[in-house]
Amino acid sequence: MERIEQFLESRNIRITAIRLLVYKFLAEKKVAVALGDIENAFEKVDRTTLYRTVKTFEENDIVHQIDDGTGIAKYALCEAGCHCDIKTDLHLHFHCSHCNETVCFTDRKIPQIKVPQGFVAENVNLVVKGLCDKCSCI
Amino acid sequence: MERIEQFLESRNIRITAIRLLVYKFLAEKKVAVALGDIENAFEKVDRTTLYRTVKTFEENDIVHQIDDGTGIAKYALCEAGCHCDIKTDLHLHFHCSHCNETVCFTDRKIPQIKVPQGFVAENVNLVVKGLCDKCSCI
DNA sequence: TCGATAATGCACTTCCGTTGCATGTGATAA
DNA sequence: TTATCACATGCAACGGAAGTGCATTATCGA
């Protein structure tokens, strides 16, 4: 827990109980979580607070937002050294249509995409949908 | 207009004035449109009717839905012969963060994606964000 | 300890997607 | 032609999620 405190302080984020708990929650989850998941985990805490907590994390490159096509934004902790930079930190996400979980494949980089003349690519989002390893063998 | 009628009839879709107009609207647009865009174009027509019109088109493989990461579903006419099949009809989309338009790059197929053992890929969504040809030279 | 600044909680709004139900319209069969 | 039926349309309303304004509370620094 102290490591988390140090980490947040290094990002100039004020330490609060909620922020520590939310960070811990995200760190323990292996998959990307929606705001609703966090709300369910902390029922006593106001929605808005959790919303703003995650937003603060996002603004400081602690989490990155994932659009997995469900229409609900999900969040996952960035890897160490991640600055959510377009060129280096892109990876693809996998959304399981059965259990509805979204995981990051941080080791699978997105292949270079060529766009037509005149277009400027700044960001790439690649989501593969299907069955995850847990659901595919059912 | 008669060609549109024939086309819709061939898909077993009953011809109505609204459906013809919506189809025409989609055909004239070079970019993917949101339901809100259609609503603005046909202010006299009820939201729900337009919603269900597009849904009917989607169910009959006349349009395909695009998730460009804005959180708002967009729609574009399928190409001739498109059945929105996972294996053959995938293409990438480009979302311009300046003019907010989304275009289909139907000629750019998505490269083969490898997923870890145990995962089953059924669908791929790839959206490139950046500046389109119109906005990049401003 | 005090004051400034930021975090939290509450109420509220907006937007989009979606559904239920009543009404209108167009095709079909008697 | 008329009766009937299926489907299209319009209206109202709901629900989820994102977002905002403001009052209150907590935290940090002087």
Rounded CA separation B100/B94 (Å): 10
Q: Is the pLDDT of residue B107 over 70?
A: yes
Q: What is the DSSP letter of B124?
A: E
User: What's chain B's Rg over C-alpha atoms?
Assistant: 16
Chain D bases closer than 7 A to any CB of the protein:
7-13, 16-21, 26-28
**CA→C1' distance for B70 and D20 (Å):** 20
| pLDDT more than 90, % of chain B | 61
User: Is residue B138 less than 8 Å (CB to CB) from chain A?
Assistant: no
Could you read off the pLDDT of A61-113 as tens digits, one per residue?
Answer: 999 999 998 989 999 997 765 655 555 556 789 999 999 999 988 776 677 78
Kindly tell me if the per-residue pLDDT of A19 is higher than 80.
yes
Q: Find the helix or strand (DSSP H, E) in which A66 lies.
A: strand A63-67
- Asked if B125 reaches chain A (Cβ–Cβ under 8 Å), the answer is yes
Mean pLDDT value across residues A118-138: 90
Neighbours of A12 (CB within 10 A): 7
Question: B121 and chain A: CB distance < 8 Å anywhere?
Answer: yes
Q: In this structure, what CATH number is given to the domain that contains residue B101?
A: 1.10.10.10
Nearest C-alpha of chain A: how many angstroms from B94?
8
User: Is the separation of the CB atoms in B90 and B109 below 8 Å?
Assistant: yes
pLDDT at A24 over 60: yes
For residue B86, is pLDDT > 60?
A: no
- Taking the CA of residue A114 as centre, how many other CA atoms within 13 Å lie in the half-sphere pointing to its CB? 6
Total of domains in chain B: 1
Structural domain boundaries, residue B57: 2-136
- Identify any residues that bridge with B102 across adjacent strands, giving them in sequence order: B32, B95
Partner residue facing B115 (CB), from A69, A119, A128: A128
